């Protein structure tokens, strides 16, 4: 095949792509909706390969609060988590929160920390989603992600996610989701016993 033939073929492909471009976003949205509404039967291909770039990057912000430095404050309304620092500042992270009907508020403490935690869906979740696995070992495809911080005697956790696109959304069953990078950063900054305040 000559260079001119290759050039013409490339030009035709580009023209066809431009002509069909208007329909492409709709198809992409439909396929994404189908992907995330489909029953869960184990590891979803490709999730562990998605970049963990935060749509809401962590940063130090001004934060006026009565809570002591070292306290974790979660604003479900803002969909932000704040780690209170000295001098009226906080480390701010983007989080995913409980969907309508699953949001909660209160004061808890971190009672356990785990790296690459395994996941055993609670009975309440299995009742709603009998298609879920009964157990998943820890790893990149586990819904709890790279780190988990367990909150008191509740079923809730602050944890990583293999679906970073859900950060900033209200989609969970009450847990606080973070990107794997952000939850690892938070994990390294807090200890067991840390106070966690969740505000609705």
Segment 47-88, tens digit of pLDDT: 333 445 567 899 999 999 999 999 999 999 999 999 999 999
The question of whether 67 is a catalytic residue gets the answer: no
SS3 state of residue 112: strand
Total-model pTM: 0.71
**Vertex 70 angle, CA 157 and 65, to 5°:** 100
User: Which of 110, 149, 167, 175 is the catalytic position?
Assistant: 175
Burial of 157 (0-12, 13-18, 19+ CB in 10 A): buried
**CA neighbours closer than 13 Å in the CB half-sphere of residue 2:** 3
Q: Residue 44 pLDDT more than 90?
A: no
What residue segments make up the domains of the chain, in order of their start?
Answer: 3-37, 53-199
CA-nearest of 59, 76, 58 to 197 is 76
Q: How large is the average pLDDT for residues 162-170?
A: 93
Fold type of domain 53-199: L,D-transpeptidase catalytic domain-like (2.40.440)
Q: Is 172 in contact with 99 (CB distance < 8 Å)?
A: yes
Q: Are strands 106-115 and 157-159 parallel, antiparallel or unpaired?
A: unpaired
The question of whether 7 is a catalytic residue gets the answer: no
User: Which of 79, 147, 157, 159 is the catalytic position?
Assistant: 159
Looking at the chain, the whole-number percentage of residues with pLDDT higher than 90 is 60
CA atoms of 182 and 146, how far apart (whole Å)? 10
């Amino acid at each position: 095949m000559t260079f001119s033939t290759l050039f013409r073929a490339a030009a035709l492909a580009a023209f066809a792509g431009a002509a069909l471009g208007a329909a492409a976003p709709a198809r992409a949205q439909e396929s994404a909706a189908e992907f995330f509404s489909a029953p869960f039967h184990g590891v979803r291909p490709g999730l562990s390969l998605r970049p963990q770039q935060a749509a809401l990057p962590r940063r130090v912000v001004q934060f006026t609060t009565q809570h002591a430095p070292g306290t974790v404050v979660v604003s479900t309304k803002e969909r932000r988590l704040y780690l209170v620092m000295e001098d009226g500042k906080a480390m701010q992270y983007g989080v995913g929160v409980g969907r309508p009907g699953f949001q909660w508020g209160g004061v808890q403490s971190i009672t356990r920390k785990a790296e690459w935690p395994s996941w055993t869906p609670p009975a309440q979740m299995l009742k709603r989603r009998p298609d879920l696995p009964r157990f998943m070992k820890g790893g990149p495809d586990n819904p709890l992600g790279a780190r988990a911080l367990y909150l008191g005697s509740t079923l809730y956790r602050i944890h990583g996610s293999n679906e970073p696109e859900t950060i900033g959304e209200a989609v969970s069953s009450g847990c606080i989701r973070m990107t794997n990078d952000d939850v690892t950063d938070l994990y390294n900054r807090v200890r067991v016993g840390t106070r966690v305040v969740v505000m609705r």
